[in-house]
């Protein structure tokens, strides 16, 4: 090996088998001392120091120390004979195997030294101090690269652990965007992950472009969730505004008649009776509006009690039709029953939804017009329809008829006394029973609204089932 040259070879030193220490092809292999403290197999690194004195060997030891090797501060003199094995314990360091051998005019030392990391085989020429420095620097660089790669593998689990909450947030946000109803515990968990959403900044969105695929999924889920929250917030604001407007009108009427009575109407029997009738009508209207608002509020707050039981939808529809014919003599009513239609639902809420459809048909059908109720089974679902001969609904209004306080004709709504909440309540009821609405309307001809519910088998479990359903 020439001056200033060195070689770094990765790998473990030669194995020790059956008490023999294999050093170098030029070394004479001799039997090792039988000491119980000596390891039977060496996993330490090998340092081959070529062409140097004991002082230079110590200098090499100081250069190799940062690499994790522990060298003694001195080396013994070379053996007199060619080859040989010496047992060496420097005291301040762990037990070392020291082998000395001679190759021509150059004395070489082969040291088996303890090492804190993976084993290396290192050859270094002590004739050049600069070579030692360059050697140490390069070995340090190699060790750092190996350590970096090792840490990457070791920290992979930590990285996954850090990303797990983000993945859970993405999954939770995606679940919130779906039709599944979340439990209060899940909502509280989501609230803990999204600290606060300012209602005045709901128009802001997370940037999706330029991000990694995993974070794109998260950003898209959050943006979709913010869209729904924004729409819900705006809907709530419209609801509050419309409710305030609806309550303001009857309050103004009541206040006006009260002032009329206070000034001079109380002495006029006709005026007094007119005021009483108007105040009573407006009070009834306010009562209906407040009851509908409370119904929707209980539904939204998950406090609506629903009693599920088996019954025939045709019988319920016949009861509602009979009640309507007793109080409305200005329209013609017809029925089309196709036999028993078994469903499992809340009887009271089902009647309420059907009455809302019938009341709407009466309001928007001129006197003498026909209103037809039908019940039957189609495609494995129970179907209950109310068809009128009213003015119909235009295509632009159809997507909004179930919105709260939505009216297709404001002037007619004021005449008929509608609140704009009836169909919203009917839809809430049908949704909570796992059903849906089908609406067909022909402007100038009429409208048919159909409630579709899951069909139940008669003769099954006849016991009533009470359950508290989430809104």
pLDDT of the residue at 90:
38
Same structural domain, 296 and 327: no
pLDDT at residue 443, rounded to an integer: 87
Last-in-domain residue among 284, 300, 316: 300
Q: Clarify whether residues 434 and 371 are in a common domain.
A: yes
pLDDT at 1: 35
pTM over 0.75: no
Assess if residue 177 is contained within a domain: no
Q: What is the C-alpha to C-alpha distance for residues 62 and 203, in angstroms, rounded to an integer?
A: 65
Confidence of residue 241 (pLDDT cuts 50, 70, 90): confident
**Could you tell me if residue 310 is inside a domain?**
yes
Q: What is the mean pLDDT of the chain?
A: 67
Q: Which domain holds residue 414?
A: 305-468
Q: Is residue 163 part of a domain?
A: no
Going from the C-alpha of 356 to that of each of 83, 100, 208, 389, 431, the distances in angstroms are 109, 105, 45, 16, 15
pLDDT, one tens digit per residue, over 341-373 is 999 999 989 999 999 999 999 988 999 999 999
Cβ atoms < 10 Å from Cβ of 54: 15
Over range 187-193, report the average pLDDT: 54
Q: What percent of the chain has pLDDT over 70?
A: 52
424 pLDDT exceeds 50?
yes
pLDDT for the residue numbered 126 = 45
CB 323 within 8 A of CB 289: no
Higher pLDDT, 337 or 461: 337
Determine, yes or no, domain membership for 335: yes
Q: Choose the final residue of a domain: 267, 300, 333.
A: 300
Beta-sheet pairing, 96-103 with 446-454: unpaired
- 387 and 338 housed in the same domain: yes
CB atoms within 10 A of CB 12: 14
Q: What is the pLDDT of residue 29?
A: 27
Regarding whether 380 and 249 lie in a shared domain, the answer is no
What integer pLDDT is reported at residue 136 of this predicted model? 66
* Poorest-pLDDT segment among 127-131, 240-244, 327-331: 127-131
pLDDT at 201: 57
Confidence of residue 104 (pLDDT cuts 50, 70, 90): very low
Asked if 75 and 22 sit in the same domain, the reply is yes
Can you give the pLDDT at residue 146?
Answer: 81
pLDDT score for 118: 42
- Asked if residue 287 and residue 410 are part of one domain, the reply reads no
pLDDT score of 361? 92
Domain holding 259: CATH number? Answer: 1.10.287.130
CATH number at residue 426: 3.30.565.10
Task: Say yes or no: 322 and 449 in one domain.
Answer: yes
Over residues 5-30, mean pLDDT: 32
> Do 310 and 460 contact (CB within 8 A), yes or no?
yes
Between 316 and 119, residue with greater pLDDT:
316
For residue 262, the model assigns a pLDDT of 82
Q: Which comes out higher in pLDDT, residue 404 or 279?
A: 279
Write out pLDDT tens, residues 32-88.
333 333 333 333 334 444 444 444 445 555 555 554 544 444 444 333 333 333 333
| Shared-domain flag, residues 291 and 349 | no
For residue range 427-464, list pLDDT tens digits in order.
999 999 999 999 999 988 899 999 999 998 755 444 44
Q: What percent of the chain has pLDDT over 90?
A: 18
pLDDT bin (cut points 50, 70, 90) of residue 281 is confident
Same domain, yes or no: 117 and 67: yes
pLDDT of residue 92: 36
Alpha-carbon gap, residue 115 to 109, rounded angstroms: 18
The domain boundary residue, chosen from 149, 172, 203: 149
Let me know if residue 192 belongs to a domain. no
Same domain, 333 and 458: yes
What is the pLDDT, as a whole number, of residue 60?
Answer: 52
- pLDDT recorded at residue 129: 53
In a shared domain, residues 46 and 84 = yes
In a domain, 187, yes or no: no
Which spans in 301-409 are helix H?
Answer: 313-327, 347-363
Task: Read off the pLDDT of residues 304-325 as tens digits, 9 standing for 90 and up.
Answer: 788 899 999 999 999 999 999 9
Residue 14, pLDDT > 50, answer no
CB within 8 Å of 201: residues ≥ 6 apart: none
Number of domains in the chain: 3
Residue 169 has pLDDT above 80, yes or no: no
Query: What is the per-residue pLDDT for 276?
Result: 87
Measured distance CA(55)–CA(130) in Å, rounded: 16
Question: How far apart, in whole angstroms, are the C-alpha atoms of residue 363 and residue 338?
Answer: 27
Phi, psi dihedral angles at 209 (to 5 degrees):
-70, 145
Does any domain span residue 351?
yes
DSSP 8-state class, residue 34: -
Tell me the CA distances in angstroms from 157 to 151, 161, 190, 245, one per residue in order.
11, 6, 24, 58
**Is position 276 within any domain?**
yes
**Highest mean predicted confidence (pLDDT) among 14-18, 20-24, 277-281:** 277-281
Pairwise CA distance, residues 402 & 407, whole Å? 9
Q: What is the arithmetic mean of pLDDT over 127-140?
A: 61
pLDDT tens-digit readout, 207-218: 656 555 656 676
Same domain, 312 and 236: no
Q: From edge to edge, which strands make up the β-sheet containing 465-468? A: 342-345, 305-312, 465-468
């Amino acid at each position: 090996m020439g001056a200033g040259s060195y070689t770094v070879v990765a790998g473990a030193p030669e194995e020790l088998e059956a008490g023999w220490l294999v050093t170098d092809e030029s070394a004479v292999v001799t039997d090792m001392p039988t000491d119980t403290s000596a390891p039977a197999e060496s996993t330490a690194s090998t340092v081959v120091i070529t062409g140097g004195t004991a002082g230079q060997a110590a200098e090499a030891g100081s250069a190799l120390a940062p690499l994790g090797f522990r060298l003694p501060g001195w080396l013994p003199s070379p053996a007199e004979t060619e080859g040989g094995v010496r047992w060496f314990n420097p005291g301040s360091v762990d037990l070392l195997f020291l082998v000395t051998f001679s190759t021509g005019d150059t004395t070489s030392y082969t040291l088996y030294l303890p090492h804190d990391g993976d084993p290396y085989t290192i050859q270094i020429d002590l004739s050049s101090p600069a070579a030692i420095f360059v050697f140490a620097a390069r070995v340090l660089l190699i060790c750092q690269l190996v350590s970096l790669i090792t840490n990457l593998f070791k920290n992979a689990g930590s990285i996954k652990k850090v990303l797990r909450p983000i993945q859970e947030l993405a999954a939770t946000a995606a679940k919130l965007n779906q039709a599944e109803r979340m439990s209060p515990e899940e909502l509280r968990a989501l609230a803990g992950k999204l600290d606060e959403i300012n209602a005045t900044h709901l128009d802001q969105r997370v940037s999706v472009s330029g991000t990694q695929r995993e974070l794109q999924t998260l950003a898209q889920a959050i943006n979709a969730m913010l869209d729904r929250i924004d729409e819900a917030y705006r809907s709530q604001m419209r609801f509050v505004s419309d409710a305030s407007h609806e309550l303001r009108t009857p309050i103004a009427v009541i206040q006006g008649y009260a002032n009329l009575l206070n000034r001079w109407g109380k002495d006029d029997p006709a005026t007094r009776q007119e005021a009483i009738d108007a105040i009573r009508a407006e009070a009834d209207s306010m009562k209906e509006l407040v009851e509908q608002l409370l119904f929707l509020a209980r539904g939204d707050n998950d406090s609506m009690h629903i009693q599920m039981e088996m019954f025939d939808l045709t019988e319920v529809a016949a009861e509602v039709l009979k009640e309507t014919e007793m109080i409305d003599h200005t329209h013609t009513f017809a029925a089309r029953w196709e036999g028993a239609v078994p469903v499992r639902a809340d009887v009271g809420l089902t009647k309420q939804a059907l009455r809302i459809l019938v009341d709407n048909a009466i309001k928007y059908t001129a006197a003498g017009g026909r209103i037809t109720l039908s019940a039957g089974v189609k495609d494995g679902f129970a179907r209950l329809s109310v068809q009128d001969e009213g003015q119909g609904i235009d295509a632009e209004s159809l997507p909004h008829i179930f919105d709260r306080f939505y009216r297709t004709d404001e002037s007619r709504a004021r005449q008929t006394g509608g609140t704009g909440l009836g169909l919203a309540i009917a839809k809430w009821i049908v949704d909570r029973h796992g059903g849906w609405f089908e609406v067909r309307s022909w402007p100038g001809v009429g409208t048919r609204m159909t409630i579709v519910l899951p069909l139940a088998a008669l003769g099954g479990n006849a016991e009533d089932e009470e359950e508290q359903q989430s809104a």
